[in-house]
Amino acid sequence: MQEGAQVIAGVQGAMSPQQLIGALVKKGELTDPASPRGRLLNAAARLFEQKGFSRTTVRDLAAEVGILSGSIFHHFSSKEQILCEVMKEVTIFASARMRSAVEQAASPQEKLRACIQSELEAIHERAVPGFSILVMEWRSLSDKSQKEVLLLRDEYEQIWLDAINSAHCPGGDATVVRRLMVGALSHTYSWFKVRENGLTIPELTDRAYQIFAPKI
Amino acid sequence: MQEGAQVIAGVQGAMSPQQLIGALVKKGELTDPASPRGRLLNAAARLFEQKGFSRTTVRDLAAEVGILSGSIFHHFSSKEQILCEVMKEVTIFASARMRSAVEQAASPQEKLRACIQSELEAIHERAVPGFSILVMEWRSLSDKSQKEVLLLRDEYEQIWLDAINSAHCPGGDATVVRRLMVGALSHTYSWFKVRENGLTIPELTDRAYQIFAPKI
DNA sequence: TTGAATACCAAGCGCTTGCTTGGTAGCGTT
DNA sequence: AACGCTACCAAGCAAGCGCTTGGTATTCAA
């Protein structure tokens, strides 16, 4: 059993989101989504993403999980701490997801494409609920919390930078390219809808790849 | 003198922001920034951009122009209306600015480059204070206000779409390309700083152009 | 000289906000 | 049976919020 899980973990791309979450929970890197704290974090991720951090009240959040607002502060010390914890867990999960997607890809070009698709899936599928919060609500965090999240964020960005460098994208150094790309991709949250019978995520990935990847 | 101004207006790219604002005020399209209402709108644009709409209180805004909070509602019916008016005036000004920049450019490629540079200047120079609000605070507007702003926004976007189409950018239809671009460019607000002795705006324009324009 | 319009003050209302406090029900351990 | 721990409720506080009301000083046209 353990060995079987190891094998599956080796080909992580084949892991379902639930499997990946389970593995990360076991390692103690994520909060169990079935626990009271975990349910609060998931609900907060959804609400902060839908309505924005400052337009979400602790009463909204409490109602979402079926408790009273005061009870939230048995699990968290402040509303801002909830945002911080959400961002940290979202980052950890998105990193693990993208790393496994990149590992599955063979060529540098495919790795870059995997990054793009992984981030788009994180934003639009249920893959990583709350991912867009990372960009949209950054200013709602205190300086102290920003530093905490940034430590985890660096891992995530390093995967991107490696992919961009290896693929030899145009537009100068990888940092600038990545920053332009994170803007382009995260902004899709406000206009791209999966359900409409228009663009699909793989198609949108293609468009972005055509733009950012080197044209031969 | 008047003729001289006319000549300069003909080559509108040479107009200073103050001249352009003056012309638009004369046409009744913008509020006079020297009027009480105009000073409130300018202060609101600065504050909403710096701190975000919901983190800016009417008391903050009142203090910024040196009046009491209640006096604001002599000029506006609600805080949200202020945001709406700011967005409308910002859009009108940015449209006029970009149109003149595009008219000055000769080739389709130069027109696209002019669009990119104009939008980056709008975001980062004092050129169009509050421009980033258009993207960042969109969700803070009511549906009704969104429609009002959208009418003006369409003009602005049409300039972009024409430029993208004429320049034959990769990445499929112009609408998607523009949407990826607006994300990339507006997100620069949170990482690009003019003062640092790093990238300049023309240099950043080049990077973005290299990415989005067709490579030969 | 009067009257209307503009721009603002002074005071505060009603509501919502994040958060606190004191207490309790359920549960597993000893 | 007694304990301690977790998870929660019930009630509400203090502060801050957008906004209202009634009144005043200044300006300018009639």
Q: What is the DSSP string of A53-95?
A: TTTS-HHHHHHHHTS-GGGGGGT-S-HHHHHHHHHHHHHHHHH
pLDDT of residue A41: 97
* pLDDT tens sequence across A8-43: 343 444 677 788 888 998 888 999 999 999 999 999
pLDDT of residue A94: 96
pLDDT bin (cut points 50, 70, 90) of residue B13 is very low
pLDDT bin (cut points 50, 70, 90) of residue B5 is very low
B30 backbone φψ class: left, alpha, beta (φ>0; ψ -120 to 50): beta
The boundaries of the domain holding residue A103 are 2-212
Give yes or no for residue B173 having a pLDDT over 70.
yes
Nearest Cα to Cα of residue A37 among A76, A79, A90, A80? A76
pLDDT bin (cut points 50, 70, 90) of residue A4 is very low
> Is B48 part of the contact surface with chain A (CB cutoff 8 Å)?
no
* CB nearest to B186's CB, from A170, A183, A207: A183
> Is B210 part of the contact surface with chain A (CB cutoff 8 Å)?
yes
Count structural domains, chain A: 1
What torsion, rounded to 10 degrees, do the Cα atoms B74, B78, B80, B83 define? 0
Give yes or no for residue B1 having a pLDDT over 50.
no
Chain B contact probe: residue of A180, A189, A196, A209 with most B CBs at under 10 A? A180
The CATH number that applies at residue B160 is 1.10.357.10
> Is B150 part of the contact surface with chain A (CB cutoff 8 Å)?
no
Instruction: Tell me the nearest-neighbour CA distance from A79 into chain B, angstroms.
Output: 15
Average of per-residue pLDDT across B192-200? 86
Average of per-residue pLDDT across B17-38? 91
Give yes or no for residue B9 having a pLDDT over 80.
no
> Is B177 part of the contact surface with chain A (CB cutoff 8 Å)?
yes
* CB nearest to A170's CB, from B52, B180, B215: B215
Helix (H) or strand (E) holding A214: none
Largest Cα separation within chain A, whole Å, is 59
Residue with the bigger pLDDT between A117 and A18: it is A117
Gap between the Cα atoms of B137 and A45, Å rounded: 19
A180–B188: do the CB atoms touch at under 8 Å? yes
Gap between the Cα atoms of A35 and A33, Å rounded: 6
pLDDT of residue B19: 87
Q: Is the CB of B57 under 7 A from strand D?
A: yes
B window 62-81: Cβ near strand D (< 7 A)? 69-70, 73, 77-80
Gap between the Cα atoms of A211 and B131, Å rounded: 25
pLDDT of residue B4: 39
* pLDDT tens sequence across B56-107: 999 999 999 999 999 999 999 999 999 999 999 999 999 999 999 999 999 9
Angle at B145 between CA B49 and CA B142, to 5 degrees: 85
Neighbours of B103 (CB within 10 A): 14
* pLDDT tens sequence across A34-85: 999 999 999 999 999 999 999 999 999 999 999 999 999 999 999 999 999 9
List Cβ neighbours of A190 (8 Å cut-off, separation of 6 or more).
B138, B139
